[in-house]
Structure 1
Amino acid sequence: MTTVLIIGASRGIGLELVRQYRAEGCRVIATVRDAGAQARLAALGAEVKLVDVAQPASVSGFSWLLDGEKIDVALYVAGVIRRPDARTPPTQPDFDAVMHTNVLGAMQVLPQVAPLVEEARGVFAFVSSSMSQIEGVANSYSWLYRVSKAALNMAVAAAQHDYPHARLVTIDPGWVQTDMGGDGAPLTVHESVTGMRKTLASVTDADKGRLLHHDGRRAAHW
């Protein structure tokens, strides 16, 4: 049975990933921050762990919770956004919130999970964004979020060299109808996740360290 780990599964894309992988018959391990979400995911048949990726003390024991596991597919979904453009300097609380969840949390989780993905010769994907790409930037909207996702791309591309038997990638879910994306987004959560799962199933060694898009396109430049 395929074992899938979803980090940040309480709602939106993470929750839909749990639904779809469970519907496919996969064993799913999911992390959430609170007991309410824990009960919701347990009802879907997931094995749920309480982990807050924004809190280093909470993340530090993650590998202990996963002791002995082999992970075929892992996804780091946790992320937050702050929307001011470059005319507004970020506050320290906003900077800390975005960078702790989107970058530091991922970098703390990665060394704990990647060896388990290597055991299965699997894929470890980190949810990024097309807004992270430096080429062709159209505006400074959500510039702090853009910076955090660009940093995440680099963290994953660099870390890939230390885990040669796993395939580490970042993946853009597209503009999705979530709390973050808003009701006007062109993609439903179901459509985005269906595409992401298909793309991740197609990952080869040639994709290691790359930014992929939910529809299967590979980013040529960052």
Structure 2
Amino acid sequence: MANIVVTGASRGLGLEFVKQLSKFSKTPTVFALCRNPDKAEKLQDVAHTCPNVKIVRADMIEFDQYQEVVSKIHANIQSGGVNLLINNAGMMLKDKLTSVTKENILDSFHLNSVAPVLFAKALYPLLKAADNNAFPLKVGKSAILNISAHLGSIEENTTGDYLSYRISKAAVNMVTKTLAMELKPSDIFVMALHPGWVKTDMGGKAAPLTPEQSVNGMLTVLAKAEESQRGCLFNNRGKRIPW
């Protein structure tokens, strides 16, 4: 049985990942991590109807609490380890040079860049212990999926703005590449995906994609991913985005 961990699961893309993965045919256990479970009413509704969804309190910027979070996950795993970690928790500030602050940059960097590294480190023993073929991956017995953005692409930056967000997403792209190479001997596949412009609290109502469309596309790309895509950034239709 597959075990999946999703961070930032209380709303938006994280909530949609939980919804779709909880219906996977091999009935995985989906560990839905969120900062305030008591206030995550939509996630609570999903957990009530899907007994394979387990909500775990996790504030992703409380780095010293990661081992406690991982211990809770481990205690609820019946066999094997974690087959998929989706580093989804993130924030986006619409700042530019005239409005950016040190706090903007550091807050964005901590959540969008540092958290994926340190949480992957904390979860590494369970990712390494994953059962083969428990989750449909063409490459690797387990995987780390970092939710990045095309705004983190240096080559595609033709407009500026979103300064702190761009910096943090460029950093998580490097995190993706580095972990992909380092974890290859452990048979752990790592890639980054851009979800597109999605109708979420972050994306706004004008966005052309629904969370359902975005997540379905990303999961399809992950399921079809090959070794040549290790450590790379793609959009939700499988098109590679340059660094």
Q: TM-score, normalised by structure 2?
A: 0.84
Identify which of 163, 179, 203 aligns with 1:181.
203
Does residue 145 of structure 1 match 2:152? no
1:38-77 counterparts in 2 under 5 A? 39-43=44-48, 44-45=50-51, 46-67=53-74, 69-77=80-88
Select the residue among 117, 129, 142 that pairs with 2:127: 117
1:139-189 Cα distance to aligned partner (Å, 9 max, x none): 112111011000001012112232111001111101100000000011111
| Counterpart contact for 1:114–1:166, Cα < 8 Å | no
Q: Give, in whole Å, the separation in 2 of the partners of 1:156 and 1:57.
A: 22
Map 1:122-201; keep pairs closer than 5 Å.
Answer: 122-164=142-184, 165-201=187-223
Q: Deviations over 1:82-111 (max 9, x none)?
A: 1012333x2232223211110111111011
- For 1:61, what is the secondary structure of its paired residue? helix
- Unmatched 5+ residue regions in structure 1? none
Deviation (angstroms), 1:60: 4.1
Displacement of 1:203 in angstroms is: 1.7
- Cα 1:41–1:55 shift into 2, 3 Å: farther
Please, which runs of 5 or more residues in structure 2 have no aligned partner? 131-140
Structure 1 residue 51: Cα displacement: 0.7
Deviating more after overlay: 98-107 vs 190-199 = 98-107
Contact 1:126/1:170 (<8 A) preserved: yes
Q: What's the offset of the Cα at 1:117?
A: 2.4
CA–CA distance in structure 1, aligned partners of residues 174 and 10 of structure 2: 26
Which deviates further from its counterpart, 142-151 or 210-219? 210-219
Map of 1:81 onto structure 2: 92
CA distance in 2, matches of 1:198, 1:204: 12
Letter in structure 2 aligned against 1:195: G
The letter of the residue matching 1:151 is A
4+ long deviations beyond 4 Å: none
Instruction: Please say if 1:2 is aligned against 2:2.
Output: yes
Contact 1:127 1:172 in 2 (8 A): yes
Q: Is the 8 A contact 1:28 1:47 kept in 2?
A: yes
8 A Cα contact 2:37 2:56, kept in partner? no
Cα distance in structure 1, aligned partners of 2:179 and 2:204: 32
Q: Note if contact 1:167-1:207 (Cα within 8 Å) is conserved in structure 2.
A: no
Aligned-residue sequence identity (percent) comes to 27
Do the aligned partners of 1:124 and 1:169 also contact (CA within 8 Å) in 2? yes
Task: Rate the CA distance shift 1:60–1:140 in 2: closer, same or farther, 3 A.
Answer: farther
Find the counterpart in structure 1 of residue 109 from structure 2: 99
Asked if the contact 1:17/1:193 (under 8 Å) is kept, the reply is yes
Q: Are 1:41 and 1:48, in contact at CA under 8 Å, matched by a contact in 2?
A: no
Contact 1:169 1:207 in 2 (8 A): yes
Kindly report the root-mean-square deviation, in angstroms, between the aligned alpha carbons of the 2 structures.
Answer: 1.7
Q: Distance in 2 between matches of 1:144 and 1:187?
A: 24
Distance, in Å, in 1 between the alignment partners of 2:61 and 2:222 is 25
